[in-house]
Amino acid sequence: MPSHNFNFDGGEYLAKIGASWFVSYMFYELLDRTHLNWRNVTTSRYRISIFNRTREYHEYWLQQVLNMNDKRLSTNTINLKPIQIKTMAKKLLMKGEKCD
């Protein structure tokens, strides 16, 4: 898991679950139940617990992910490329706008 904090609201929690994992799990939860990359970690139960407790940050975090360094995003262990992560984040943000 990441060993750094993100310097924005709730960043200490996002650092515990990982930005790539966060987007992957949220994409699974809200848009595509066949997307299972988030399962490629042994700590998914722990991460889901944090995910569920931090919902107030989720939209904000998605926006932050779009500005993240691709090189850092590419270090994920769930086999997703930075472009895939950012595309999923954009789709999740668009879904949120449609719900307002």
Domain membership of residue 59 as a residue range = 11-99
Structurally, the chain folds into a number of domains equal to 1
pLDDT score recorded for residue 1: 44
Residues 73, 89: Cα–Cα separation, whole Å: 13
Among candidate residues 33, 94, 46, the one with its CA nearest the CA of residue 66: 94
The answer as to whether 27 is a domain residue is yes
Domain membership of residue 53 (yes or no) is yes
Q: Answer whether 0.95 is exceeded by the pTM.
A: no
pLDDT digits over 19-51, tens only? 999 999 999 999 999 999 999 999 999 999 999
| 1 occurs within a structural domain | no
Is residue 29, in this structure, part of any structural domain at all? yes
